[in-house]
Structure 1
Amino acid sequence: MKLLSLVLSVFLLAACSSGPRIDHSYTASGQNSRVQYIVLHYTSTDLPHSLQLLTQEEVSAHYLINTVPPTIYQLVDENRRAWHAGVSEWQGRTWLNATTIGIELINQGYFDTPKGRYWQPYAQPQIDALIVLLKDIMQRHQLPPGSIIGHSDIAPQRKVDPGPLFPWKQLADAGLMPWPDAAVVAREQAVFTVSPPDVAWFQQQLAGLGYEVPNTGELDDATRNVIRAFQMKYRQALYDGQPDAETAALLLVLNRMGKA
């Protein structure tokens, strides 16, 4: 009797540890990746401190890319959620940790000095490694061009990374995101210089791209922050948050490209 009980216990233990029997012979066609976007960040600190923060604290990211040598560290499996986005919104989706892959780049961000704000440039080998990684992620998750966004895009009221020195145009040249044609932008800018749109128009255009922006028709601080985030991406020479003719032209051209 004791022997029978022992055998039964071992059998039950084995059954519990192995889990239920599941038939994997059928696969549904109605599915896609949980990943909708890739969010880019800078770490604001060096590699040792970044690794400590991203592996031993609550904040995390799927990937971390060093500068010299340009090493790519995977810290979280892509099938799991990393804690990198925080309170965020893009194209109507909120709390984007669940639907994004987060990539952190070793970069100090900015320093405020007596001569003004200094932004640290990105190392080209680091950007080269990032582009290779982005192409791989986008191919595996079947993401369309334009799925790569900055932390400042999804949280413009509290974040500025990856900052105005991040080379978005290089990503566009690599086929990873759309970019407005300079000649078309110049033509539209000439029109807007003569007849500038009102603030409500800017708010609508920004919302059309995906930004969370007030819909008040007022040029408040929140709206300026969103305009500044857009300018840091598409017009890095001047990101003052002002709704000027060139910013209007860039917005119009990009929104037209999205609807083409």
Structure 2
Amino acid sequence: MLELLSYGDTGWGDEILRGLAITIQLAIVTLPVGLCLGFMAAFASMSRYRALRALGFGYTTLMRGLPEILTLFVVYNGVGLLWNMLLKWWNPDAPGSDFSPFWAGVVALGMVFGAFACEVLRGAFNSLDHGQAEAGRAIGMTRAKIFRRIQLPQLWRFALPGLGNLWINMLKDTALVSIIALNDLMRMTSVAVGVTKQPFTFYLLACLLYWAMCILSELVLARMEKHANRGVRRA
């Protein structure tokens, strides 16, 4: 077993670690994309304009209703096809190009994360004391300053537990990207199993690595929640 997990030509340790690094990189890059989409969808769904509210609710309803793997296939194949069509329209002699599996995963997982984050953020925003915003306007604060100094710190505190759960779910969902040939942890594990015919060893290792990432994330999230709730008196 140790020989299978060693470095070099006879072992798979270096390939597994490279796949782990790609999985972590994919999750970290996807997080800000999903948060930005979640904030935009939340603001749209709470807008006073009917068209924006319809757009926000339509986005969250659609993305929460589709399986993640189907969203990934649509993004990977659809965006790649659209990109090649635009290239041919701009330059008929341009060679076709494939859409990067990494960025397809970022877009697809970010869209899914953003849809669920929208509901978490909208619920957190509705939990705020809107009298504080009125007090800010009364002393001449702009809407941007009210949001940055009054609402956002409290919004972050209310939304952090839900966003933390979404982060852990998204971290596990990165395994889906292996089906579009991204050499992440799951794909490199499957390749190792196919070559060595040792499924229990490598799938158990993958389970332990995903579990370790989730445990580490929970520890970090616990520290973040403690920091966000500093000064809050518990009943």
TM-score strictly above 0.5: no
| TM superposition score normalised by structure 2 | 0.28
Larger radius of gyration, structure 1 or 2?
A: 1
| TM superposition score normalised by structure 1 | 0.26
Larger relative contact order (C-alpha < 8 A, sep ≥ 6)?
Answer: 2
